Chains A and B, each alone.
Chain A
C-alpha cells in the first residue's frame, strides 16, 4: 500500500479514537470551544486528506459531518443527544470505511446515504430561528475598538508584522475560536497580522478578557525593540495583568502545547519494539552467563566490567520495557463511548469517572485486558445500574455512577471497576445455581456470600432477567476470568445488594521477564514464577519421617496446623529420580508451597536453587498441549529450562480439576472445610501478652534468632541475615513505653532468655525484623468487626477468631521506632 495512505490511516484511526471520547465529553460540556475546535479539526483533516487521496465516499461522509460541526461550532445549532448520536455514527462509518481502505486500498462500496441524509437533516432541524451566539462566545466588549487601536500601533512598526507572523504559525496548531475572527477580522486584511493569536500567551489573555489588544500590541512592540522579557512579564510589569491571571493563562497554554507534542515523538513499528525486547532478553541471559562465569574469576578488571555490564543491562532492560509500556488510557478512553451507547440503549443515566488513566502497562497486556474490561463495563451499565426511576425510589440520585480506577500496586497493576448500582443478589445466584444443579441444597446453605458471588465466574452463569443485545447471554464473566487468568492476573468481585458492585482486577506489569525460583528434580531444572510461590519449607532429619503424614496413602504436611497436600514433581512429570528410592528415605525434603486458584499445595522437589530473572519464551504450538509448562527459558549456563505452570500442575495433580464444572463441586467441597475465608493473619503475642496480628501478606518470613546473634549498631538492634543487616524493632520497646523505660534502666536486658521470635517484613522496599514475644497462629478471618485503635502503632482493633486483636501498622511502628531511637536518653532519665 502507498506510504501516504498508510500514514493517513494510522493518523486517522488514532484521531477517531480520540474523537469518540471527545464527543462524549462534549455532551457534558457543550460550550467547550476547545473540544469543538479539536473535533472539527479532526474531521476537517480527514475530509481534506481523503479528497487529496481520492476517497470520494469517505469525503462525502466527512463533509456532511464537517458542515454539521461548523454550525455547531459557530453556535448556530445547539448540541442535542440526537446530534451527538449522529456524529458518533458518522465516526463509526468513517471507521468502517477506513478499515475497508486498510483491507482493500479502496473506500468500499457502502455509500452511507442515510447517514449523510441524517446529518443534513440535523443541520436543518437543529437550526433555531432565534439562534444566537452563546453567551460564552460573545466577543469581549469593545474589542473592535481595541483591535482598531492595535491597527494603529501596527502601522507604526513594520517589525511588528513579523511577530504576528510567528504567532500566526501557532495558529495552525490551535485554530482560533470563531469569536476572535468575527470581532477582529472585520477590520480588513492588515489587522489579521496583529490580531491576538490563541496559541500565544498574549492571545490567550485577550481571549479571556484580561488584557486588551492595544496593551498587548504595545508589549509586543517593546519586546521587538529589545526588551528581553517575555510578553507575559512585560504585561505584568506594566500592571495590566495580575500575576495569578498570567499563571492561569500559562497553564492553559501548556495544556494545549502538550496536545501538539507530536514533534517530540516518532512512530515506531511494534515489531521493531518486539525485536528489541527479544534482543534485550538475550542480553539479559548473556549477562547472567557472564556474571556466573566472572563470579569464579579473580581478575579485578573482569569483575568490575562485569558489574558495569550488569548495571547497564538492567537499565537498558528497564528502558526498553518502558517503550512497550502504554498508558491504560488507550483502553479507558474507549469506555465513555461504550457507556454512553449502552446507557442510551437501555434508557439509563450514567456518569462516568476515571482515575489513574496514566498508569502504564505492557502493550500486549493492554490488548489482553481490553475485551474483559469492556465486558465488565457493559455489564455494570446494563445489569448493575438501575433505571432512573428505580434509583430515585431507592433514594439514590437518578444518575448512576461508574468509576474506573487504575494504579500500580506492588509490581502489579490493579484495575477497579465500581458502580453504585443494584449490586448482585446472592439469593438469586443461589437459586440459579440450584436450578442448574451447579450446587446441592446442602452446599448452598453453607456457602458464604463471597463464594456465592464467585459462582458468576462459572461458564454459562448469567442472572440477567432479560437478555439484551449487549450482555446477558450467559457468556461473560467466565470469559473475563479466563482471559485474565491467561495473563497471570486475578479477578475479585465484591458486591452489596442495593449498594453496588466492585470488581478488582490484578495483572502483572509485563509477561516477558519474570522473577522465578529455580528448582531441581531428577537432575533437571525447572523454573517456578515467584508470584505463585507462597513459601519454601525444608524438612531435615527425623522430621522427614515424622512430619509427612498420609491421608489414605496421600502424602500431606501439616503447615501451621493445616493439611497441605503434597505433590511430588518427579511423579507428576513421570521422571525417574536418579537417587532412587522414595522421598521418605531422603535426608531432607524441600517443599515449595504454591497456590493455584486459592488452593494451596506443596510441591516436593529435590533441590531449591536460586531465584533469578528469567526471560519467558513460549513453547511452540506443538507443545502447547502440555499444560504443566508455561514456557521455557535459557539459563545462565546456556541450557534450556522449562517453566512450570502452577495452575496446570495443580490440574494435572488433581489439586484443581481440569474441567470447569468439576472445579465447582470441588471448590464447594473445599469451601465447606474452609470458613468464610478472607484474609490470612499472623497472630502473635505482643508485649504484656496482648493479642496482635499482621496480615500475612506483609510478612516475608518468620525467623528465630538466638539472643547471642543480636548485635548493636548505634542504638539499634541488628542481626546479620542472608548477607544483609536486618534492623530489629522491638515491639515491647516501641509500644509499651513504661516497660521500655524500666528495661533501658536495667541496661538493655533481653526480654526473655529464649531465642527472639522475629517477623521479617518488607515495608516500602526496606526489610526489617519485628521482635515479638511469641508467634501464636496463622488464621484466616474476615476480620470485619473493627474499632478504632487505642494506641499509636495500631491500625485498629479487630475481632479475629472471636477475640479482640490489635492489627499493627508497620509503617507507624517504623516511624515510632526511629523517634525512640533518636531520643533514648530522655526516657532513661524520666524512668529513673
Chain B
C-alpha cells in the first residue's frame, strides 16, 4: 500500500534527516541559548521562544556526529513532545518531502550502538538517503542521563 508521508528535512554534517511533519511545531532561525550548567552535553541550553522556555538538544551530539564547526549558527526544528516543545539544533533546514512507504528501509544491521535507537530507518530518495528520526527517542536521551546528573 502506498501511503504518502510528509517529512520535514534538515541536514547535519551533510547527512539528510527527516522528521514527520505533524511532529514539527515550527522551524526557526538561530535563537540565543542560555547554557545549563551541569546538564548533559546533549542539552545545548534553554531558549526563549515567544515567552515559552524550550530545551534545545544538540542533534549532532545526540547522533554522535562530529561537533558543529565554530562560526556556524545552528537552526531550530521545534518538535512537539509529550513533555512540552523541544528544539533540535540542526545545521540547515531542507524542504518538506513527500514519500511513500515503499521507499522505506530499516537501518542496515551494521548500524550499531546508541544511534540505532534513534534512527528508525531511511527513505531512499532520488539523490539522498533520508534518515528518519524517532523524535521521542531523540528527546529521551537526557532523561536517561539523569542518574549521572544527580551525582554531579
Contact = CB atoms under 8 A, between A and B. Distances in A.
Interface of A: 281-282, 285-286, 524, 573-575, 617, 619-629, 632-634, 638-642, 658
A625 B55 CA distance: 14
Interface in B33-54: 34-39, 43, 45-48, 51, 53
Contacts of A640: 34, 45-48, 53
Contact of B51 (A619, A626, A634): A634
A412 B99 CA distance: 58
Contacts of B142: 622-623
Contacts of B47: 640
Contacts of B113: none
A619 B37 CA distance: 13
Given A625-B143, A626-B39, A634-B53, 16 more contacts: A573-B38, A575-B37, A619-B46, A620-B55, A621-B83, A623-B55, A623-B142, A626-B36, A632-B53, A633-B53, A638-B48, A640-B47, A640-B53, A642-B34, A642-B37, A658-B150
Contacts of B86: 620, 622
A524 B43 contact: no
B139 A639 contact: no
A255 B129 CA distance: 75
A625 B34 contact: no
Contact of A625 (B51, B53, B84, B150): B150
A574 B37 contact: yes
Contacts of B139: 622
Contact of A524 (B34, B38, B143, B145): B34
Chain B at the A interface: SS class: mixed
A227 B37 CA distance: 79
A720 to B, nearest CB: 38
A463 to B, nearest CB: 32
B13 interface: no
B86 to A, nearest CB: 8
29 contacts: A281-B51, A524-B35, A524-B37, A574-B37, A574-B152, A617-B53, A620-B55, A620-B83, A620-B84, A621-B83, A622-B139, A623-B142, A624-B146, A625-B143, A625-B146, A625-B147, A625-B149, A626-B39, A626-B149, A633-B53, A634-B51, A639-B32, A639-B34, A639-B48, A640-B46, A640-B47, A642-B34, A642-B46, A658-B150
A340 B99 CA distance: 67
A658 B151 CA distance: 10
Contacts of A627: 150
Contacts of B43: 622-623
Contacts of A624: 146
A622 B145 CA distance: 9
Contacts of B37: 524, 573-575, 628, 642
Nearest to A658: B150
Nearest to B149: A625
Contacts of A574: 37-38, 152
Contacts of B150: 625, 627, 658
Contacts of A628: 37-38
A619 B55 CA distance: 8
A622 B149 contact: no
A642 B146 CA distance: 18
A627 B37 CA distance: 11
A640 B53 CA distance: 7
B117 to A, nearest CB: 16
A632 B36 CA distance: 10
Contacts of B32: 639
Contacts of B38: 573-574, 626, 628
B143 A622 contact: yes
A281 B32 CA distance: 21
Contacts of A617: 53
B30 to A, nearest CB: 14
Nearest to B84: A620
A667 B43 CA distance: 36
Interface centre among A621, A633, A639, A640 (most CB of B within 10 A): A640
A621 B55 CA distance: 10
Given A620-B83, A640-B53, A632 B35 contact: no
Interface string B48-71: 100101010000000000000000
